[in-house]
């Protein structure tokens, strides 16, 4: 049921600013001295990687609207025009970047040095260390480097997106060529950013750019290096929808990927102290706004940073050997609950539905499911969607093996999975070569649902086994992201899965879904209907409740439906990791809504939805967030969890643990800021991810860090205890 648009702009939080606050929470983890040191380094790298993608996609889109001659700019739900959003984004980004460099320079690097991990300057090296970098330069770096002068006969190169470059102003008194010129040297990605100069067992490093800067006179012989600096350009890397007329999506996407490297710059990062002549040269080469006056405010796309550019390179330090005590303790994923080791997986699924909660439950059964299907002579066909896969995917290898074994194998590969397009193209070609029927989905829709189906001959009957998930078929990220997956042999679910694959491969439509809710064919309307049902129950004085755990909440209609539910008295608990445009706690509008975000060791990625209370509650998992793109521009699936024991596990164990987190949880306040939940000294501490790790086969195990919380069946209630917790957080 559609909700009436009765709410004002001030009732919504700006999407882009909300995302920046999510990245601020990532930065908080880097600033938190209670986290292991190399985990803090990891969060600095993640912060930078997140910010890069934000500029390449979101800022690029706003910039195109603001400066690209778009006649009618989109107005966000909170009433801001594109240029106004850019101004606020710039202001907040500069604050966060300043905090990031303060954290690196004043906290992280000194702490690393105390732990025996030192980043040295060239001028501080001893004789043996200087010999080491000289050998490194001559034998490894110099053969790769391409020093480039910039003059009329040597035009400026096209600087690569997120590439690191040394730029220098050169001068000479006489000889061939101009007396003064600019020159650039790209830092090759094939070389380490942190070059080791320590003895075996030592962790002493020099930055690659410092070595190359010291060697500029050798690279440009005969010239005096007047001054030099490092810079980095971020470009618009979003892929528009492919043209409907393209007769080969694979080739069309490959052409679009090549175009990316020629796209416009959206951000220029330079080392603090870069000379005006060098900066002016870069500004003249790229259409970057250094100063753009807007209503008395200045918009600038140039960022002067005090420290190393591109902190994503810090991953090299995160993964150094011999410093395990500076990381979170390693863990072993448990055998999934209800799954008997070494049993026939098909017989097990036929016997009962199985729920997997990654990374706490091993991802191995999912890979084994496809591998076993590839080997089993009774399996007739395998159908699977692939959105993102790992570099050496066992899933893909099993699909190839299945095709080579003569089975009918269909893989729906989403080529437009952002920033994984090239990887997916590689695997798509390999599978096609092996005989897999590879389908690339739709030109104007991304296939984002996570679905696999195995068709098996069992006597005179054919049975279908289905896996549905909230995350990708990627064993690597399955150890880093929290996701849920369901195995089932339910006939109605299998009927829907068959129809969905027919829709993806042959545009088959008109099917009436029995169990699945599919976007763009009704997921949005069904979500609104489920929310409205709870609103009606509350209005009738009946028990009602809504719980949702998701990555992002942006869709205006859904937010307004939640506001109406809150006004009717529905208790609503939301766990939203990232963007949340809903304002909780507004008097008369959202007083019954509480929003929390959990940022911890694993990326919270699962989507869980519960509508109703007691025996009336409906439990769903989904690949989709509550965003317009998920409802309208992607093929998504929300699927029910119906087995009583699995529903109890979700509602009585998983959800309560998240709601009791008072270590890594932050509560969203009505002004759009987040406050970390801080328990008093006499209150038991709960860290949700640690407690999920401490669960072994459903039994709470002893843990020195925390213990799994008990649950009395009322975790979704808006109780006095919860209101007390909210007051403490604020």
Residue with tokens 């893909």: 396
Contacts of 121 (CB under 8 A, 6+ apart): 206, 210
Q: Is 686 a catalytic residue?
A: no
Residue-wise over 176-212: b if at least 16 C-beta within 10 A, else e? eeeeebbbbbbbeeeeebbbbbbeeeebbbbbbbbbb
Alpha helices in 156-313 (DSSP H): 208-214, 216-219, 249-260, 276-285
Which residues on adjacent β-strands are paired with residue 383? 410, 453
C-beta separation of 14 from 76 below 8 A: yes
Cα separation, 206 vs 599, whole angstroms:
32
DSSP-based three-state secondary structure for 362: coil
Residue 581 CA to chain centroid, in angstroms? 18
- In this structure, is the dihedral angle defined by the CA atoms of residues 51, 672, 32 and 34, taken in order, positive or negative? negative
Counted residue by residue, the chain has a size of 730
Cα separation, 64 vs 69, whole angstroms:
8
Q: Residue 305 belongs to what H/E stretch? A: strand 302-305
Half-sphere exposure of 649 (CA within 13 A, CB side): 21
Cα separation, 82 vs 87, whole angstroms:
9
Tell me which residue of 136, 569, 100 sits closest to 314, measured CA to CA.
100
- In this structure, is the dihedral angle defined by the CA atoms of residues 286, 290, 296 and 297, taken in order, positive or negative? positive
C-beta separation of 569 from 593 below 8 A: no
Between CA 261 and CA 271, with CA 265 as vertex, the angle to 5 degrees is 110
DSSP string, 157-171: P-PPTT-EEEEEEEE
C-beta separation of 715 from 658 below 8 A: no
Residue with tokens 């129809």: 499
DSSP-based three-state secondary structure for 156: coil
User: Among residues 448, 517, 605, 686, which one is catalytic?
Assistant: 448
- The tokens of 601 are what? 């060791």
Burial of 509 (0-12, 13-18, 19+ CB in 10 A): exposed
**Beta-strand runs (E) in 514-659:** 517-519, 546-550, 572-576, 593-598, 603-604, 608-611, 618-622, 634-640
C-beta separation of 241 from 253 below 8 A: no
Distances (CA, A) of 385 to 222, 358, 463: 59, 19, 20
User: Using CA atoms in the order 72, 73, 77, 83, what is the torsion angle rounded to 10 degrees?
Assistant: -150
DSSP-based three-state secondary structure for 319: coil
Burial of 248 (0-12, 13-18, 19+ CB in 10 A): exposed
DSSP string, 324-352: GGGSPPP--PBPPTT--TTS-HHHHHHHS
695-696 and 354-358 strand pairing: unpaired
Catalytic residue annotation: 448
């Amino acid at each position: 049921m559609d909700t009436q648009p009765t709410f004002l702009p001030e009732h919504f939080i700006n999407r882009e600013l909300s995302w920046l606050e999510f990245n601020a929470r990532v930065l908080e983890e880097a600033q938190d001295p209670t986290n292991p040191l190399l985990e803090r380094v990891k969060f600095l790298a993640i912060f930078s990687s997140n910010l890069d993608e934000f500029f390449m996609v979101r800022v690029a889109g706003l910039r195109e609207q603001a400066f690209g001659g778009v006649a009618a700019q989109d107005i966000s739900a909170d009433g801001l025009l594109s240029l106004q959003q850019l101004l606020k984004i710039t202001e907040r980004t500069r604050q966060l970047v300043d905090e990031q460099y303060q954290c690196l320079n004043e906290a992280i690097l000194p702490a690393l040095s105390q732990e025996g991990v030192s980043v040295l300057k060239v001028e501080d090296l001893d004789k043996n260390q200087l010999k080491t970098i000289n050998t490194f330069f001559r034998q490894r770096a110099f053969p790769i480097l391409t020093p480039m002068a910039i003059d009329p006969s040597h035009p400026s190169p096209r600087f690569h997106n997120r590439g690191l470059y040394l730029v220098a102003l050169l001068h000479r008194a006489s000889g061939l060529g101009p007396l003064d010129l600019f020159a650039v040297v790209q830092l090759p990605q094939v070389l380490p950013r942190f070059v080791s100069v320590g003895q075996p067992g030592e962790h002493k490093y020099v930055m690659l750019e410092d070595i190359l800067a010291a060697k500029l006179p050798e690279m440009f012989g005969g010239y005096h290096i007047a001054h030099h600096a490092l810079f980095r350009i971020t470009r618009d890397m979003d892929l528009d929808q492919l043209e409907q007329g393209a007769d080969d999506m694979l080739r069309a996407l490959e052409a679009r990927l090549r175009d990316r490297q020629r796209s416009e710059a959206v951000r220029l990062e330079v080392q603090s102290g870069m000379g005006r002549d060098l900066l002016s040269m870069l500004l003249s080469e790229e259409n970057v706004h250094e100063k753009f006056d807007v209503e008395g405010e200045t918009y600038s796309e140039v960022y002067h940073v005090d420290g190393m550019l591109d902190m994503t390179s810090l991953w090299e330090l995160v993964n150094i050997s011999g410093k395990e005590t500076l990381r979170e303790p390693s863990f072993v994923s448990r055998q999934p609950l209800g799954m008997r080791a070494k049993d026939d997986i098909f017989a097990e699924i036929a016997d009962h539905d199985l729920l997997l909660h990654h990374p706490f439950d091993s991802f191995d059964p999912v890979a084994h499911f496809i591998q076993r299907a590839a080997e089993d002579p009774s399996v007739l066909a395998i159908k699977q969607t692939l959105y993102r896969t790992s570099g050496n995917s066992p899933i893909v290898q099993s699909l190839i093996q299945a095709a080579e074994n003569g089975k009918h194998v269909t893989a729906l590969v989403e080529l437009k999975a952002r920033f994984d397009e090239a990887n997916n193209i590689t695997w798509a070609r390999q599978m096609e070569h092996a005989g897999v029927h590879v389908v690339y989905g739709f030109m104007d829709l991304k296939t984002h649902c996570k679905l696999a189906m195995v068709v098996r001959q069992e006597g005179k009957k054919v049975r279908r086994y289905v896996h549905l998930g909230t995350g990708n078929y990627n064993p690597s990220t399955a150890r880093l992201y929290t996701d849920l997956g369901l195995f089932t042999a339910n006939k109605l679910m299998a009927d829907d899965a068959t129809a969905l694959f027919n829709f993806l491969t042959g545009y088959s439509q008109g099917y009436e879904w029995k169990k699945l809710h599919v976007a763009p064919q009704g997921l949005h309307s069904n979500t609104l209907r489920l929310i409205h049902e709870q609103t009606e129950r509350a209005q009738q004085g009946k028990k009602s409740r809504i719980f949702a755990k998701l990555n992002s909440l942006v869709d205006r209609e859904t937010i307004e439906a939640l506001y109406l539910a809150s006004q009717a008295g529905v208790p609503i608990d939301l766990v939203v990791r990232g963007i949340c445009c809903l304002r909780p706690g507004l008097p008369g509008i959202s007083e019954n809504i509480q929003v929390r975000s959990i940022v911890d060791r694993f990326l919270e990625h699962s989507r869980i939805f519960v509508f109703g209370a007691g025996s009336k509650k409906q439990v769903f998992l989904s690949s989709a967030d509550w965003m317009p793109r998920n409802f309208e521009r992607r093929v998504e699936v929300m699927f029910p969890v119906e087995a009583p024991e699995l529903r109890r596990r979700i509602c009585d164990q998983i959800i309560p643990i998240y709601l009791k987190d008072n270590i890594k949880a932050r509560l969203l306040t009505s002004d759009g800021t987040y406050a970390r939940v801080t328990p008093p000294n006499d209150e038991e501490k709960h860290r949700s991810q640690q407690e999920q790790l401490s669960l072994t086969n459903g039994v709470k195990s002893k843990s020195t860090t925390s213990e799994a919380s008990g649950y009395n069946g009322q975790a979704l209630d808006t109780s006095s205890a919860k209101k007390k917790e909210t007051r403490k957080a604020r």
